[in-house]
């Protein structure tokens, strides 16, 4: 029998499930670190994925609860692209990744886990990052705890050049 320990998931498994959308943020910033919010812009925000595909997996989300690209207004769409550009540079600089997957899953059939609130994924990639664990056993290993990654990425967003 094989065992893979993922103790950070137990709080999700045993904890109460939110009735509201996890991407609809409260006005106050008291929960930002707990929710892994790296930055709040004018029309969108940057948040870490609590269940990442790879170390450094972050997302850019609009504040408005929309599920179609066509529902974004021009200012939201432009600001989201600004943050995608900024975040890709942060990931390259901090993680020295050799590539980045940027993706948007629109609809459940396209793989959207939370289909009602669109969000872009940025996933750092390295040559050979699919180690023997992924190839042989369909398992990914994360080299750093989420809290440590949050603490190391947060300073990049403190003086971000994109208007707030």
Q: Which of 39, 96, 119, 121 is catalytic?
A: 119
Neighbours of 95 (CB within 10 A): 19
Tell me, rounded to whole angstroms, the distance of Cα 28 from its chain centroid.
20
Q: Known catalytic residue: 119? A: yes
Beta-strand runs (E) in the chain: 37-40, 44-48, 58-62, 99-104, 120-125
| The 120-125 sheet, strands edge to edge | 37-40, 44-48, 58-62, 120-125, 99-104
The Cα angle at residue 58 between residues 84 and 87, in degrees rounded to 5: 30
Q: Annotated catalytic sites, by residue? A: 119
């Amino acid at each position: 029998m094989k065992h893979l320990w993922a103790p950070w998931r137990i709080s999700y498994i045993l904890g109460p499930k939110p009735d509201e959308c996890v991407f609809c943020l409260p006005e106050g910033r008291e929960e930002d670190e707990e929710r892994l919010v790296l930055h709040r812009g004018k029309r969108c925000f940057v948040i870490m994925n609590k269940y990442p595909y790879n170390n450094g997996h972050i997302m850019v989300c609009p504040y408005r609860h929309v599920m179609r690209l066509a529902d974004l207004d021009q200012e939201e769409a432009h600001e989201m692209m600004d943050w995608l550009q900024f975040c890709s540079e942060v990931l390259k600089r901090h993680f020295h990744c050799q590539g980045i997957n940027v993706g948007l899953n629109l609809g459940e059939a396209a793989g959207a886990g939370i289909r009602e609130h669109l969000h872009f994924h940025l996933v750092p990639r390295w040559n050979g990052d699919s180690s023997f664990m992924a190839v042989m056993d369909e398992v990914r290993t994360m080299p750093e705890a989420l809290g440590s990654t949050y603490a190391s990425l947060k300073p990049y967003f403190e003086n971000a050049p994109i208007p707030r």
